[in-house]
Homo-oligomer: A and B are copies of this chain.
Amino acid sequence: MTSVFELPTPALLIDEAVLDRNIAEMAAALPGARLRPHVKAHKCTSLARRQAAAGHLGFTCATIRECEGMAAAGLGSDLLLANEVLDARRIGALIDSGSRVTVAVDSPRTVLAAADGGVREVVVDVNVGLPRCGCAVADAGPLADLARSSGLEVRGVMGYEGHVVGLASAEERTAKCRASMELLLAAHASVGGALVSGGGTGTYAINTWANEIQAGSYALMDTAYAKLGLPFWQALFVLATLISGTGEWSVANAGLKAFGMDHGNPSLDGADIWYCSDEHTVFSPPRRVGDLVRFAPAHIDPTMAYHERAYLCRDDEVIDEWPIDLRGW
């Protein structure tokens, strides 16, 4: 067995015990089809397979490549591309090959693109307060009509309360989640279909209005979500080597190319992070050159996407190497 101390650094480490505990916790709260895990958070079919083993057979994807990779891994029995596309031909090809892929639509253009590309099933994506994708509630019914008249089956609605999932106050999260989902249910009343899909890790326990939750971050977690007091724990770390230092600071060999930076710097127990550059993170107080450290990334989604592989670890043993095989487009 390889020890983590023998890995080339920087290396992405997944703590298997924590990962499995997070997956089990979520599967207990939202069993089976109540959860549609979002693969954008990890972009890793090996990890998705553990989510499937916990009972979740439908998955959420953000990109066509994620759908293709999930299908290639044998996990394409019910994929929801929770994003709009204007060229759906690659999705049509996946469906022709036997996968089930449902695509989000929010405009006449995206309905026509789905039909033209060979898509058979769609959900109407509804804006529930986040200024991003999704149609207005009043447009949802007409869009469903257009989809049906274009030969598409409309499976229901989705709406992502992305402006709510990260709110620090649980009370505010609950109130705003309710307001968002009331919009989604109003749209659903005019759209029909079985699916009312929404939510994320920050609202998984609050959002009782959606009948499936698109959470992704819960499996690996990050320092941003950790502030919300959820029953999930950080399972993802970046192992780095201290390659330089002085009496004032240490320099680790992992930087901007190893960490998603949009939520800020990574964290290291007991350390004050000074800054990250391309291949370095500088922090104090200093430790010994040659020591290994484990950084906790601030945002796991881009962090996973920046690495080729992650090492699955049981304590300090590397027990598997998982390709991050859903990255790219």
Taking a contact as CB atoms under 8 Å apart, the answer to whether B262 and A276 are in contact is yes
A301 adjacent to B110 (CB under 8 Å): no
Question: Considering residues A244, A299, A301, which has the most beta carbons from chain B within 10 angstroms of its beta carbon?
Answer: A244
Say yes or no for A40: interface residue by CB 8 A criterion.
yes
Instruction: Kindly identify, within residues 1 to 35 of chain A, every residue whose CB is under 8 Å from any CB belonging to chain B.
Output: 8-11
Cβ contacts under 8 Å, A327 to chain B:
257
Report the bound CA distance from A277 to B301 in whole Å.
10
**Does A328 sit at the interface, judged by CB under 8 A?**
yes
Question: Pick the contact of A260 from B10, B107, B246, B256 — CB < 8 Å?
Answer: B256
Given contacts A9-B329, A162-B277, A329-B9, contact A84 B256 (CB under 8 A): no
B86 close to A241 (CB less than 8 A): yes
Contacts of A249 in B (CB 8 A): 131
Of A114-122, A168-176, A219-227, A278-286, the segment with at least 4 beta carbons within 8 Å of chain B is: A278-286
Knowing A83-B243, A257-B327, A329-B8, the reply to whether A278 touches B301 (Cβ < 8 A) is: yes
Which residues of B sit under 8 angstroms from A277, Cβ to Cβ?
A: 132, 162
Oligomeric state, in copies: 2
Complex Cα gap A110–B274 (Å): 23
Q: Are A107 and B244 in contact (CB under 8 A)?
A: yes
Which residues of chain B are near A280, meaning CB under 8 Å? Answer: 132-133
Question: What CA separation (Å) do A308 and B305 show in the bound complex?
Answer: 11
Classify the secondary structure of A's interface with B. loop
Interface string of A124-161 (1 = CB under 8 A from B): 01010001111010000000000000000000000000
Which B residues lie within 8 Å of A274 (CB)?
Answer: 131
Q: How far is the CA of A241 from the CA of B84 in the complex (A)?
A: 10
Please give, as numbers and ranges, the residues of chain B lying within 8 Å of A64 by CB-CB distance: 8
Query: How close is A170's CB to chain B, nearest CB, in angstroms?
Result: 23
What's the least CB distance linking A83 to chain B, in Å?
6
